[in-house]
Structure 1
Amino acid sequence: MKSSYWKPRQFLILGILVLLFLFLVDLNQRLVQLNRLTQKRDQIQAEVTALQQTIEALGTQKAYATSEAAVEAYARNQANMVKPGENPIILVPLRTAPESAGSNPTPTPSPVPPWEVWWALFFGR
């Protein structure tokens, strides 16, 4: 009987180990891709939810803008219109007294030349 260093059974076990390693590497790659795609899905779902809320808010604004209440609010507040039979009241602001001439305005500081700033930093004033 010849003694061989490698027996067929050892080749079979080595082949199974190599295949198992390859399957584990592929599984790891698939799990990483699954994690990345799940994060992307969650991000897109959040964006879709925000956009749906925006659509609902715009729909509410559109419904108000086309209502009679919006037309009346615009006519009264911005167009200064009144209904027939109403008497408009126009408020006239009171004239305020002009500022007294005796008040002293705050003096504006005069700009200091840069060389004087450096002189003060190095030698003091």
Structure 2
Amino acid sequence: MIEFFQYDTEEKRRSLLVRARKVALLALQQYDLEWECIQFIQLSDTITFKIELSWSQRYLLRIHSDRLSKEEICSELALVQAFNKLEDLDVPKGVTSVNGSYVLEINTEDDIDAPMLR
């Protein structure tokens, strides 16, 4: 089994980002969005992409390694949603997929541990 976030060399980092882009594109098929552009932003404990839509809307798509469980990611989302109810804070809102889920588990063709997306 290959660790999804293994990138201790430049070659492994590039390979990781290629695989992550494929995962992001697979994930986008699970949302009712007419996106125009996907752009890599950052690699840290998550891999983050900016998704741009035609009418000037933007979304962040985060890919999590298997280090966090789906329940832990959902807990983080619940906290963010609670912050959204406060008037003086402007934080991102979660978007559900076509099946109503905030977190997706995507399997890749390389038998990689399935990353979690939100």
* Greater radius of gyration (CA): 1
Which has the larger helix fraction?
1
Q: Give the TM interval when normalised to the shorter protein.
A: under 0.3
- Higher RCO structure, 1 or 2 (CA under 8 Å, sep 6+): 2
TM-score of the superposed pair, with normalisation by structure 1: 0.20
